[in-house]
């Protein structure tokens, strides 16, 4: 399996880097040369830099490279806290120096390694989830293989050629899910049970989710796992387990969030910042009515309830539509058509993410940020697996039609989005 | 036909303006009756100029300073009458600034602008640069801005042609490749 996955991964990545290499040099947004003038002493016009590396410095990559090459790695301006200081520190640590091209190459290498590792973890997570009755079930193996392939062909692929922070969250989110799955058992009729012998694994899942959240704040939704587990255990009156497992794990995640979104920014910017600091709820505590992340998203990117719902953004909604449809259908599929108890928390997480992205965010980022949730991959993999047994698939219907259309869209979208990214063209 | 391309480009441009964080752009349409100079005199009075002499696009890096001269004026030279130009203003995300109050205007002949006059009518663009960060950048901090002026043909800036050709080539290749080796079928088997 590893050999096959590696082969698919390497070939798909080589194709994308080939497309970037062949992309015309003159980017639409000409600011990369200004960035390079500031951060590089010389060498930005070398052959490989011009044809490949410079093209990876589009969009948010500028914020990441700034942090990675700065003297101390600490964000200079408040909005730069939106660009994972955790990922920036990780790359700085691995790079060993702050020379731009060294850092960029290490960042790209780590991006690909983490992306690959995520796909391996996803394989084992899928097998674990779908082979409860028979651990070696053929169905689970095939489902895991197809899911892994689909993950490699994620709609975020183009952005993941650069130095974005998503793969770190993919790896941590999938690892956290696997740790949790390994430490809980589904029992009949009561539902969920946590095993004391697997307590460390459960707590490890919390650490994974916490670091994933520190890296990408939308991963805070993974905390829904703990709310779900807590309610299940409380319902069964397993109070001690409810405290030792989900409550403790959830509190750890909660503390990380509070530190990142309240304590750290309050200590750094208040009271001299004014504005956001003045929404402090109590004079003795560093809590504001709006958390720091929401404040910077609103102030600098105009993110907020229905703020993106404008006529001019219709194309962005259209770009997001394939993922919206597939994510939505996956929640219906696993809750109504093929209900799967173990997937319940993930269904809620997916629904919450959809609501967040459709109503509050720049909706097209769904193509980039939704891949830390594998529900839609399992939905598509399951449909593909079921249709693979059919002889005639010339006229797929219902879900199969959706899956087929989505994969056709992926085949077109991934290369196009990679080229658009290399040319510094929207969508971001 | 020209009107169609024109309206289509305005729509396309509005999308780019909305979604691109570090690029702002607008269009300049040189009027049909804009008086083109007949003398060989080179007007080099105004300090910031972008010339399209023998070219259909040009780019200059302008050094602006936070909290100092605002708005910034740039004279556009050697534009062709009845032609449309895209003016594109790019800055690096390293500098958290906003570009506002963009526009263009014609200064009639013998009219003074910032202490300069010319016997010929002149076209200027203008924009303001403001700090958009906390903490704010120190007054006087130099912010380099790339200002490009690009002739538009068939409603598309000419510097985008090679990119559009490449994008179309990639899209067509992806469709053809997917028809021959369908990703869906590869996943199924």
- Whether B187 is in a domain gets the answer no
Residue B51 is assigned to a structural domain of this protein:
yes
Q: For chain A, what percent of residues have pLDDT higher than 70?
A: 97
- State the average pLDDT for chain B: 86
Q: Where are the domains of chain A?
A: 166-269
- B12 pLDDT exceeds 80? no
- The C-alpha atoms of residue B88 and residue B72 are separated, in whole angstroms, by 14
**Predicted pLDDT of residue A32:** 95
Residue contact B18–A312, C-beta within 8 A: yes
Higher pLDDT, A189 or A250: A250
- The whole-number pLDDT of residue B14 equals 44
- Rg, chain B, Cα only: 21
C-alpha distances in Å from residue B108, one per residue of B29, B105, B123 = 16, 10, 9
Please name the residue of chain A whose CA is at the shortest distance from the CA of residue B95. Answer: A35
**Number of domains chain B contains:** 1
Residue B170 falls inside a structural domain: no
B121 to chain A, minimum CA–CA distance in Å? 30
Query: Which of A373-382, B33-42, B176-185 is predicted least confidently?
Result: B33-42
- CB-CB neighbors (< 8 A) of A29 in chain B: 20, 22-23, 90
| Min distance B32 CA to chain A CA atoms (Å) | 29
Counting Cβ atoms within 10 Å, is residue B162 exposed (0-12), middle (13-18) or buried (19+)?
middle
Mean pLDDT of A382-405: 83
**Residue B19 confidence class, pLDDT cut points 50, 70, 90:** very low
pLDDT tens-digit map of A241-251:
999 999 999 99
pLDDT at position B41: 61
Give me the pLDDT at residue A391, please: 64
- The whole domain housing B85 covers 2-159
Interchain pair B163, A24: CB under 8 A: yes
Q: Which of A411, A407, A418 is nearest to A146 (CA)?
A: A407
B27 forms bridges with which residues in the sheet?
A: B86
- Asked if B46 contacts B73 with a C-beta cutoff of 8 angstroms, the reply is yes
Least confident piece of the model among A312-316, B20-24, B163-167: B20-24
Q: pLDDT tens digits for A232-290?
A: 999 999 999 999 999 999 999 999 999 999 999 999 999 999 888 998 988 888 999 98
- Distance CA(A114)–CA(A344), nearest Å, equals 27
Partner A, chain B 29-68, Cβ-Cβ below 8 Å: 59, 61
Q: What is the ipTM of this complex?
A: 0.93
Percent of the residues in chain B that have a pLDDT greater than 90, as a whole number: 64
Tokens in use for A67?
A: 């942090």
Distance from CA of B87 to the nearest CA of A (A): 12
Asked if B62 contacts B72 with a C-beta cutoff of 8 angstroms, the reply is yes
B130 in contact with A at a CB cutoff of 8 Å? no
pLDDT at A229 over 70: yes
pLDDT range class, residue B16, cuts 50, 70, 90: very low
Each residue's pLDDT tens digit, A53-79: 999 999 999 999 999 999 998 999 999
Tell me: the pLDDT tens digits for A126-181? 999 998 665 558 889 999 999 999 999 999 999 999 999 999 999 999 999 999 99
Residue B17 has pLDDT above 50, yes or no: no
For the stretch B44-90, pLDDT in tens is: 788 899 999 989 999 999 999 988 777 999 999 999 999 999 999 99
Residue B139 lies in a domain: yes
Q: How far apart are the first and last CA of chain A?
A: 34
What does pLDDT average to over chain A? 94
Across-strand partners of A191?
Answer: A187
User: For residue A39, which residues of chain B lie inside 8 Å, CB to CB?
Assistant: 94
Which of B150, B170, B176 has the highest number of chain A CBs within 10 A, making it the mutation to test binding with A?
B170
Q: Is A278 exposed, middle or buried (0-12, 13-18, 19+ CB in 10 A)?
A: exposed
Q: Does a structural domain hold residue B55?
A: yes
A141 and B CB contact within 8 Å: no
pTM equals: 0.93
Q: Given CB atoms, is A28 within the 8 Å cutoff of chain B?
A: yes
Is B169 domain-assigned?
no
Are B155 and B8 in contact, with CB atoms under 8 Å apart?
A: yes
The pairing of strands B72-77 and B49-51 is parallel
* Residue B172 contacts A, CB cutoff 8 Å: no
């Amino acid at each position: 399996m590893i050999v096959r996955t590696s082969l698919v991964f390497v070939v798909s990545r080589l194709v994308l880097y080939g497309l970037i290499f062949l992309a015309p040099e003159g980017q639409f947004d000409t600011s990369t040369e200004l960035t390079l003038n500031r951060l590089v002493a010389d060498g930005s016009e070398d052959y490989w830099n011009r044809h490949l590396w410079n093209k990876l410095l589009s969009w948010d990559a500028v914020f990441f490279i700034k942090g990675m090459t700065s003297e101390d790695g600490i964000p200079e301006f408040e909005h730069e806290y939106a660009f994972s200081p955790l990922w920036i520190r990780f790359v700085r640590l691995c790079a060993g120096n702050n020379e731009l091209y060294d850092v960029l190459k290490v960042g790209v290498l780590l991006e690909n390694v983490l992306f690959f590792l995520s796909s391996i973890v996803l394989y084992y997570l899928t097998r674990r989830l779908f082979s409860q009755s028979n651990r070696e079930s053929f169905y689970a193996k095939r489902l895991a293989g197809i899911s892994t392939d689909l993950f490699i062909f994620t709609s975020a692929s183009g952005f993941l050629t650069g130095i974005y922070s998503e793969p770190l969250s993919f790896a941590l989110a999938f690892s956290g899910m696997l740790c949790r799955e390994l430490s809980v058992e589904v029992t009949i009729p009561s539902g969920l049970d946590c095993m004391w012998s697997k307590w460390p694994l459960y707590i490890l899942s919390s650490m994974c989710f916490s670091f994933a959240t520190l890296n990408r704040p939308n991963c805070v939704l993974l905390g829904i796992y703990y709310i779900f587990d807590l309610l299940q255990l409380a319902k069964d009156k397993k109070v001690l387990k409810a405290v030792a497992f989900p409550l403790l794990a959830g509190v750890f995640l909660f503390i990380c969030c509070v530190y990142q979104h309240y304590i750290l920014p309050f200590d750094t910017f208040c009271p001299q910042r004014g504005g956001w600091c003045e929404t402090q709820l109590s004079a003795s505590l560093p809590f504001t009515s709006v958390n720091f992340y929401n404040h910077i998203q609103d102030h600098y990117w105009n993110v907020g309830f229905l703020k993106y719902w404008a006529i001019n953004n219709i194309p962005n909604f259209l770009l997001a539509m394939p993922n919206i449809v597939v994510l939505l259908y996956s929640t219906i599929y696993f809750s109504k058509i093929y209900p799967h108890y173990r997937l319940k928390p993930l269904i809620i997480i997916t629904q919450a993410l959809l609501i967040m992205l459709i109503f509050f965010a720049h909706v097209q980022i769904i193509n980039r940020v939704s891949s830390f949730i594998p529900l839609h991959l399992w939905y598509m993999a399951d449909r593909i697996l079921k249709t693979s047994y059919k002889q005639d698939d010339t006229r797929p219907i219902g879900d199969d039609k959706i899956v087929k259309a989505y994969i056709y869209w992926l085949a077109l979208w991934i290369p196009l989005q990679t080229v658009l990214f290399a040319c510094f063209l929207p969508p971001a | 036909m020209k009107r169609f391309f024109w309206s289509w480009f305005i729509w396309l441009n509005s999308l780019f303006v909305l979604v691109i964080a570090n690029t702002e752009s607008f269009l300049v349409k040189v009027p049909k009756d804009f008086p083109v100079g007949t003398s060989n005199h080179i007007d080099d009075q105004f300090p910031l100029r972008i010339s399209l002499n023998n070219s259909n696009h040009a780019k200059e890096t302008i050094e602006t300073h936070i909290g100092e001269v605002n708005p910034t004026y740039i004279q556009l030279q050697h534009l062709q009458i009845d032609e449309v130009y895209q003016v594109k203003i790019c800055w690096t995300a390293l500098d958290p600034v906003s570009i506002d109050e963009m526009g263009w205007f014609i200064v009639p002949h013998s009219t003074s602008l910032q202490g300069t006059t010319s016997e010929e009518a002149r076209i200027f663009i203008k924009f303001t640069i403001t700090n958009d960060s906390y903490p704010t950048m120190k007054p006087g901090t130099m912010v380099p801005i790339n200002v490009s002026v690009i002739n538009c043909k068939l409603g598309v800036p000419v510097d985008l042609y090679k990119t559009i050709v490449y994008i179309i080539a990639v899209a067509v290749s992806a469709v053809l490749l997917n028809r021959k080796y369908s990703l869906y079928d590869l996943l199924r088997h």
